[in-house]
């Protein structure tokens, strides 16, 4: 007998910053909306373990989507005429357009890495539209990651980006899972990872926004792996210290991609965070 997973995928046509986009959405479950944001240069397949977890999908409508230019989403018309560069403004616009198009009522937004950064901006500016945010590997400021070799004609971009990020996994995470994340990264479009890192390292500075987050209106939970050297536990701890009422935990034996590199180890931390923000 075929073994179908509970995940359903489809395409959504939406307008983002006056441009028409065709983005890929996948979801599973029913209940409180939980919108998941993938990492730089990757796509929503990183969240397949969450969308296959019966305890979570019995309580939450888990939705993950591929950002424009990423994964199975189609670039906008005439995309080749300008270099892809993600910015704070365009990132916020894409996420908000998606939850509005899907009619998600006060969703919880969970993001990792660059997604863990942008949830801080969303919580600061749209707290009345959200139930709460969960930031995985969340930093308010992370300069120094951008470099020209991430998109270079003499270098295989897929292998470089995949191997560059492979080192961000914990040495304690199963190699099968680390390699799965490597595979997804290797499929990124030319220059997409570099365009995302432009946001994360050159454009992004969320430090002024932290003081505007009211955790009585929008709850905040932060989780960071102890082996993450891109967003160190100290960087996330500084974010938590600037947001009164937020919750922060360091995840033992975990790296930069907890939801894909070691889901069994990540799961208890996730369930606790979900209980907090959904209460």
State pTM to two decimals: 0.96
User: How many structural domains does the chain have?
Assistant: 1
The pLDDT tens digits for 174-219 are 999 999 999 999 999 999 999 999 999 999 999 999 999 999 999 9
231 inside domain: yes
In the three-class reduction of DSSP (H, G, I as helix; E, B as strand; rest coil), residue 86 is classed as coil
pLDDT at 226: 98
pLDDT at 152: 87
1 inside domain: no
Among the listed residues 225, 220, 191, 188, the one whose alpha carbon sits nearest the alpha carbon of residue 206: 220
- Diameter of the chain by CA atoms? 55
Predicted confidence (pLDDT) at residue 148 exceeds the cutoff of 90: no
252 inside domain: yes
119 inside domain: yes
Among the listed residues 193, 160, 159, the one whose alpha carbon sits nearest the alpha carbon of residue 67: 193
pLDDT at 1: 87
Give me the percent of the chain exceeding a pLDDT of 90: 94
39 inside domain: yes
Domain of 97, CATH number, reads: 3.40.50.1820
DSSP H or E run through 22: strand 19-28
Q: Which residue range is the domain that position 258 belongs to? A: 8-278
pLDDT at 168: 97
The Cα angle at residue 167 between residues 35 and 171, in degrees rounded to 5: 95
């Amino acid at each position: 007998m075929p073994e179908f997973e509970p995940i359903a995928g489809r395409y959504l046509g939406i307008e983002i910053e006056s441009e028409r986009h065709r983005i890929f959405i996948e979801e599973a479950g029913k209940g409180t909306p939980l919108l998941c944001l993938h990492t730089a240069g990757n796509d929503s397949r990183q969240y397949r373990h969450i969308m296959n977890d019966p305890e979570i999908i019995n309580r939450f409508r888990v939705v993950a989507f591929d950002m424009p230019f990423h994964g199975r989403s189609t670039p906008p018309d005439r995309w080749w005429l300008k270099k892809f560069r993600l910015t704070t403004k365009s990132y916020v616009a894409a996420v908000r357009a998606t939850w509005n198009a899907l009619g998600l009522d006060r969703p919880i937004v969970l993001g990792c890495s660059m997604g863990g950064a942008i949830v801080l901006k969303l919580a600061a500016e749209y707290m009345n539209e959200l139930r709460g945010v969960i930031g995985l590997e969340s930093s308010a400021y992370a300069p120094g990651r951008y470099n020209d070799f991430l998109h270079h004609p003499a270098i295989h971009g897929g292998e470089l980006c995949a191997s560059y990020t492979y080192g961000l996994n914990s040495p304690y995470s199963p190699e099968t899972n680390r390699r799965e994340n490597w595979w997804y990264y290797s499929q990124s479009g030319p220059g997409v990872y570099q365009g995302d890192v432009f946001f994360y390292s050159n454009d992004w500075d969320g430090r002024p926004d932290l003081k505007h987050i009211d955790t009585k209106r929008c709850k905040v939970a932060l989780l960071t792996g102890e082996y993450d050297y891109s967003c160190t536990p100290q960087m996330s701890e500084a974010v938590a210290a600037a947001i009164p009422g937020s919750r922060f935990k360091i995840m033992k034996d975990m790296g930069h991609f907890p939801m894909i590199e070691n889901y069994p180890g990540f799961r208890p931390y996730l369930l606790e965070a979900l209980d907090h923000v959904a209460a």
